Structure 1
Amino acid sequence: MRIAFTAPMKPLDHPVPSGDRTMGRLIVKALKSAGHEVEVASTFRSWRKDGSDELQSKVKAEALKEVSRIANDWKRDRKKPDLFLTYHLYHKAPDWIGPALADRFDLPYAIIEASRAPKRKTGNWAFGFAAADMALQRADAVAAIHNADAECLHEVVPPDRLDVLLPFLDEAPYRQAVTGSKPPASAPLKLLAVGMMREGDKFRSYEVLAAALDRLMNLSWHLTLIGDGPVRSKVVDLFPADRITVLGALGAEDLPAQYAQHDLVVWPAIREAFGLVLMEAQAAGTGVVAGNTFGVPDIVRQGETGLLSQEGDVEAFAANLENVIRNPGIADRLGIAASAYISANHSLEAGAARLDLFARKAVDNHRRPQKDQGK
């Protein structure tokens, strides 16, 4: 089918790399691999750092101008899509474009990676929250990317229109990075952390990691840091200089080899939706020690492909690290299981199959009589 796509949180051509941009591109790639024709209908970005009725009213007005432009193009070319698909919607990034076009052209409308924070119903984000809720109520199919988000959507999305669509990746580059058999883990254990270096949750993850490793200075380990950002110097200063290697930001093409060369990826995952890095590491045959946050347990099997601890719990995170550093064979076991797990559950092929079913469900729901929906 012909699918019109937009990503109001971060368009696919945004210059700043992120897990969100990567996931959006993967969704388009997977849909195409499943035989669908996908066109980016708009690169309009509704996301704003700050919220207010006045600010978001202006964003809505800009979005509606984009609706008129797209509608005129479709009428001129006599080529409307079979489905309008929006990726990543919430109160900071509402979607006014998809619902408006879906109503105007009587199209099925679907949302992937929807989340909802009821506490934003009032206050500075009330306008965006209401707009996101309207889109959710209009949608013929809605997918959360982990079970925690799905729980918050039940209030506005009927069960027959709500799914959990687990994330996926193109595992080929990560498999290719593992040349021959990976050498057994040994002291000093080679640890790797990959993440943007900015204030907020990312910096807090680095703080938790540093505090955990500080408790393990008597053990043999070395940490590689990959990432860059406005607080890079603050991040680097958290760790002992003789125990770290700082590589800065690397291109996506260079990351698979880094995962494959390390024994363990370590990331506390403060407020992470699921942690694309954790999925990439496992695809390269590297186990993880991470925080048990939101969708992390949906992509990491506790005790099998990784060791998880409660979000922000320094002592528990350190205990998991200590267990692996003292017993390097655990890292080998986690890595072998991780590679098989990603291949079976989170590959591009698995994602394409799930997306294909989801798109067809949206179309089927749209065709159903209104009186039958929600039952």
Structure 2
Amino acid sequence: MRIAFHTPLNSYDDGRISGDRRMARQLVAALEGLGHVVEPVLAARDFMPSADAERLVHHREMAATHAEAMRARWRDGAPPPELWFTYHNYYRAPDLLGPEIVDHLGIPYVVAEASDAERRASGDWAEHTRIVRAGLAATDLHLYFTDRDRQGLEPWRSRCTALLELPPFIAFDREPPRHAGDAPVPRLVTVAMMREGTKQNSYLTLARILGRVAERPWTLSIIGDGRQRTEIEQAFSGLPEGRISWLGAIPHDRVVAEMAAHDVFIWPGVREAYGLVYLEAQAVGLPIVAFDSGGVSATVRNGETALLAREGDEAGLAAALLRLLDDGAMRKAMGQAARRFALTERNPAQAACILERGLALAVANRAARPHAATTGPKA
């Protein structure tokens, strides 16, 4: 099939590094590996940092202009898509193109990583949420990455709208390096951008966790940079001298190699969507220490490849870290299990099997969908 691939949250071709951009590229590669022709929809980014009504009007006008330009190309003989695939549809980045195009062309509509927020259905974000929900109801197949997202999408499951789990997966150009072996002093590593919000909160939490285990020997390498680096460095300043290495932002291939030179990956992951970095760390053979927050649990096997503490339980997270610091045999066993899990169960081949089944389901659901306007969720 010819598939239009739309990314409202971040432009597909902007080239910046982030987990969602990488997942978008992985999804495209998996679809192309199945023999489909995938054409990224190079529309303007629809992320809205605020609920400003004029901003929404502007985005809708831009979407309408882009949709008309697409229709003009098709009238001039360009082949239209046979399926529309949107990656992300939520209140801050609603899909302003997909529902209109699939209705115009009568083609299947697939959405990956959509979410619904009841608390946004009233107030400043109400109109954005109404747009999202119209898209949720019009979707033939929802691919969800985490159980949290599944729960939000359940009201939209219907005879013609299916939900299918697509666990987070990771792709490598070549086999990732193996963990180099434990050092006399356990080497911790973390990787994250230094930006406001949840990333900064996780860094501040990490500094407090390490303060709880400062009497044990360990070192931590921090890979990442950003606007909040000064504030984040200040949060770690009370730890014993020489424990922290600030590596800054480094090329992605070096990130993977750097992780392999460590023994434990630790990142609290406060409200993390899921975090491909957890899969990368496991792929090189590192056990994970994190909160059971957001979608983190979808990327690990708690108790086998990772030790997760209840979200916000900093004492519990410190205790989990201490278990791995004090037990080299546990670190080794969990690291070996982590590599097997990431490379054999969370790889593009497994994802492609799910996508192939999902596309067939979407085609069948679109064929069965009545031509009348789509109704809202069931009670």
Tell me the TM-score range normalised by the shorter chain.
over 0.9
Residues 1:7 and 2:7 aligned together: yes
Question: How many equivalent residue pairs?
Answer: 370
Aligned partner (choices 215, 219, 222) of residue 218 of structure 1: 215
Alignment partners' CA distance in 2, 1:168 and 1:77: 37
Match of 1:94 in 2: 94
What SS does the aligned partner of 1:356 have? helix
Tell me, yes or no, if the aligned pair for 2:12 and 2:42 is still in contact at 8 Å. Answer: no
Q: Which 4+ stretches in 1 moved above 4 angstroms?
A: none
Unaligned runs of 5+ in 2: none
Alignment partners' CA distance in 2, 1:266 and 1:236: 17
Letter in 2 for 1:192: V
What SS does the aligned partner of 1:198 have? coil
Alignment partners' CA distance in 1, 2:172 and 2:71: 37
What SS does the aligned partner of 2:259 have? helix
Match of 1:196 in 2: 193
Match of 1:157 in 2: 157
Residues 1:256 and 2:253 aligned together: no
Match of 1:168 in 2: 169
- Cα deviations by residue, 1:57-102 (Å, 9 ceiling, x for unpaired): 2211111111001111122224111100000110000112111111
1:139 is displaced (CA, Å) by 0.9
- RMSD between aligned residues: 1.8
Alignment partners' CA distance in 1, 2:86 and 2:217: 47
Percent of residue pairs identical = 34
Match of 2:307 in 1: 307
Describe how 1:42-57 pairs up with structure 2 within 5 A.
42-57=42-57
Letter in 1 for 2:215: N
What TM-score, normalized by structure 2, do the two folds share?
A: 0.93
Alignment partners' CA distance in 1, 2:25 and 2:109: 19
What SS does the aligned partner of 1:94 have? coil
Residues 1:184 and 2:144 aligned together: no
Tell me, yes or no, if the aligned pair for 1:9 and 1:47 is still in contact at 8 Å. Answer: yes
Alignment partners' CA distance in 2, 1:35 and 1:42: 21
What SS does the aligned partner of 1:85 have? strand
Tell me, yes or no, if the aligned pair for 1:41 and 1:70 is still in contact at 8 Å. Answer: no
Residues 1:122 and 2:119 aligned together: no
Letter in 2 for 1:144: Y
What SS does the aligned partner of 1:233 have? helix
Match of 1:283 in 2: 283
Letter in 2 for 1:198: R
Describe how 1:80-91 pairs up with structure 2 within 5 A.
80-91=80-91
Tell me, yes or no, if the aligned pair for 2:7 and 2:41 is still in contact at 8 Å. Answer: no
Tell me, yes or no, if the aligned pair for 1:187 and 1:221 is still in contact at 8 Å. Answer: no
Taking a change above 3 Å as real, the CA distance of residues 238 and 101 of structure 1, as seen in their structure-2 partners, is same
1:222 is displaced (CA, Å) by 0.2
Tell me, yes or no, if the aligned pair for 2:264 and 2:288 is still in contact at 8 Å. Answer: yes
- Cα deviations by residue, 1:98-139 (Å, 9 ceiling, x for unpaired): 111111111111101101111001122111111110111111
What TM-score, normalized by structure 1, do the two folds share?
A: 0.94
What SS does the aligned partner of 2:48 have? coil
What SS does the aligned partner of 1:309 have? strand
Tell me, yes or no, if the aligned pair for 1:136 and 1:157 is still in contact at 8 Å. Answer: no
Tell me, yes or no, if the aligned pair for 2:3 and 2:82 is still in contact at 8 Å. Answer: yes
Tell me, yes or no, if the aligned pair for 1:85 and 1:110 is still in contact at 8 Å. Answer: yes
1:261 is displaced (CA, Å) by 1.0
Alignment partners' CA distance in 1, 2:180 and 2:95: 48
- Cα deviations by residue, 1:198-234 (Å, 9 ceiling, x for unpaired): 1211111111111111011110100000001101122
Unaligned runs of 5+ in 1: none
- Cα deviations by residue, 1:39-65 (Å, 9 ceiling, x for unpaired): 112332111111133321221111111
Tell me, yes or no, if the aligned pair for 1:112 and 1:144 is still in contact at 8 Å. Answer: yes
Tell me, yes or no, if the aligned pair for 2:271 and 2:295 is still in contact at 8 Å. Answer: no
Alignment partners' CA distance in 1, 2:167 and 2:12: 20
Tell me, yes or no, if the aligned pair for 1:287 and 1:335 is still in contact at 8 Å. Answer: yes
1:183 is displaced (CA, Å) by 4.3
